[in-house]
Amino acid sequence: MTYDYIIIGAGSAGCVLANRLSANPNTRVLLLEAGPRDWHPFIHMPAGIAKLVSRKGVNWDYNTEPEPNLDGRRLWWPRGKVLGGSSSINAMCYIRGHARDYDEWAAMGATGWDWHSVLPYFKRSEHNERGADAFHGTGGHLNVADHRYRNPLSQVLLDAAAQNGFPLNPDFNGAQMEGFGFYQVTQKNGQRWSTAAGYLNAARDRDNLTIRTRALVERVVIDNGRAVAVEFQVKGERVRAEAAREIVLSGGAINSPQLLLLSGIGGGDQLRQHGIAQKLDLPGVGRNLHDHLDACTIFRCKQPVTYDKTNDVWIALQYALFRKGPGTSNIAEAGGFVRSPLAADERPDIQFHFVPAILDDHGRHRLPGRGMTLHACHLQPRSRGHLELASADPAAKPKLFANYLSDAEGFDRRVLVEAVRTSRRLFKSKAFDPYRGDEMFPGDGDDSEAAITAFLRKKAETVYHPVGTCTMGTDANSVVDPTLRVHGIQALRVVDASVMPKLVSGNTNAPTVMIAERAADLMLAS
């Protein structure tokens, strides 16, 4: 089998590329996905995210290695393993980040990725139901909408924010980011609108696009410094597909560097350890891993208004018949962006997601009663980790060393301490008086730095934004150049969140879609 383009990973980026590259009927495109089709109803029903937590079949189900600064805990890292990737299992919050994030990328060597250059791609990808303006587009494949249903407690959070002097912000992706408001979500007609729903379904019937699910890629074949083929498994059978033009890795921040290493691209010591013949010494592969660490402040709720004890049958019926009610909620309806006293520049350094329910351990640990959870994460972490192969077996999960709270100055920890203090202050506002019960987490009421630090080490978790492991740039530590080509290898690119030199100030799905939109233009122009 020979194709013009082979895309590995049908996630937030891969579905975009499959659509854009196959738009020319004379171009043959193969899209490979290790997971199944996105058939499960919990994927399409927004509130189904609460049920997806325990569904291993659509999730890579990773865990970090023991984290030295988090009491030796192994943190759970769910990543999408299904058509649409993580856009099929995420909370659907549509956030782009701050303009300065992208200008910083450009200053770090990612030429052409400044805010002025990337804004048109955000707008091109988007169909915002509010309409087009200087910041938003219409007519794109990614539908962006306001919630059809909101829990009354989500408005209470905004009232509490106003009582604490925080501005209200109707559009986090508009003229300014700071403030509290309701998130817009990647939904359409009350349903999740993943990149599979938006981009892939629009192209699925093209004769020149081949989609293969449950296809585990073993390696990219490198011949004389050029990526020429992909070897993958389907139902125990090894298949080889040739690429006439380019091969693209879109597996995300974990799978893309893993596949580069399995293909012989990376640091020599690690490859030798696993008996993999080195094709190119590229030590940056798997380095620069970083993520948003998240702390959950939880209070009990005295009134029966939360999502903890709901009539699932009634919710499902409302959703099935009318696409209305709590089933259309992404659960994290409201939130905000705040500049703490430690903020280094004009960007907010803390993001909040409010959940009108008790959400402990990603919802996997069900606690009795009713409650309210305020997530808070540090947006510009300084700590860096890495990943390594566990074995030469493509089915073996790599070792993830997130290395949270490891920066020498302790800055990341101090920002999160401020985040927990702010969360407490919001919950203790007059607006929450009719609802607020006892504090569950941190739980002792002690606002000292030592007490909050102990809580963070015991309970902080990922908010699902790993990036950076195939960093874009021009220095010796980068993996891809500003056109997303792998340094030193012809006809091979990486297009996903792994190429981000630094985390954006917010959720990473919309920026990943933007990266794929721009990458498609770069590829078609080459």
Q: What is the pLDDT of residue 156?
A: 98
The model's pLDDT over 76-126, given as tens digits with 9 standing for 90+, comes to: 999 999 999 999 999 999 999 999 999 999 999 999 999 999 999 999 999
Say if CB 331 and CB 282 are below 8 A apart: no
Domain boundaries, the chain: 1-63+78-113+193-287+467-526, 147-183+293-380+405-459
> What would the mean pLDDT of 49-54 be, rounded to a whole number?
84
Within 13 Å of residue 198, how many CA atoms lie on the same side as its CB?
A: 32
Q: What is the pLDDT of residue 384?
A: 98
Say if CB 15 and CB 496 are below 8 A apart: no
Q: What is the pLDDT of residue 382?
A: 98
Q: What is the pLDDT of residue 52?
A: 86
What's the token pair of residue 157?
A: 């959070």
Q: What is the pLDDT of residue 292?
A: 98
Asked if the model's pLDDT at residue 510 lies above 90, the reply is: yes
Of 250-254, 359-363, 447-451, the poorest mean pLDDT is in 359-363
Provide the terminal-to-terminal Cα distance of the chain, rounded to the nearest Å: 23
DSSP 278-341: PSEE-TTTT-SBB--EEEEEEEEESSTTSSSS--HHHHHHHHHHHS-SGGG--S--EEEEE--T
Predicted TM-score of the model (pTM): 0.98
Q: What is the pLDDT of residue 268?
A: 87
> What would the mean pLDDT of 519-524 be, rounded to a whole number?
98
| Closest residue by Cα to residue 463 from 359, 389, 342 | 359
Is 1.10.260.40 the CATH number for 1-63+78-113+193-287+467-526?
Answer: no
Q: Give the pLDDT band of residue 53 (cuts 50, 70, 90).
A: confident
* Catalytic residue annotation: 465
Q: What is the pLDDT of residue 55?
A: 80
In the chain, what percentage of residues exceed pLDDT 90? Answer: 95
> What would the mean pLDDT of 133-144 be, rounded to a whole number?
98
Q: What is the pLDDT of residue 56?
A: 83
User: What are the distances in angstroms from CA 325 to CA 152, 224, 311, 320?
Assistant: 12, 58, 12, 10
> What would the mean pLDDT of 213-220 be, rounded to a whole number?
98
Q: Give the pLDDT band of residue 345 (cuts 50, 70, 90).
A: very high
Asked if the model's pLDDT at residue 54 lies above 80, the reply is: no
Q: Give the pLDDT band of residue 283 (cuts 50, 70, 90).
A: very high
pLDDT, the chain, mean:
97
The model's pLDDT over 38-48, given as tens digits with 9 standing for 90+, comes to: 999 999 999 99
Q: How far is CA 448 from the centre of its chain?
A: 32
If one looks up domain 147-183+293-380+405-459 in CATH, what number appears? 3.30.410.40
| Closest residue by Cα to residue 91 from 412, 303, 373 | 373
Q: Which amino acid is at 188?
A: K
Q: What is the pLDDT of residue 474?
A: 97
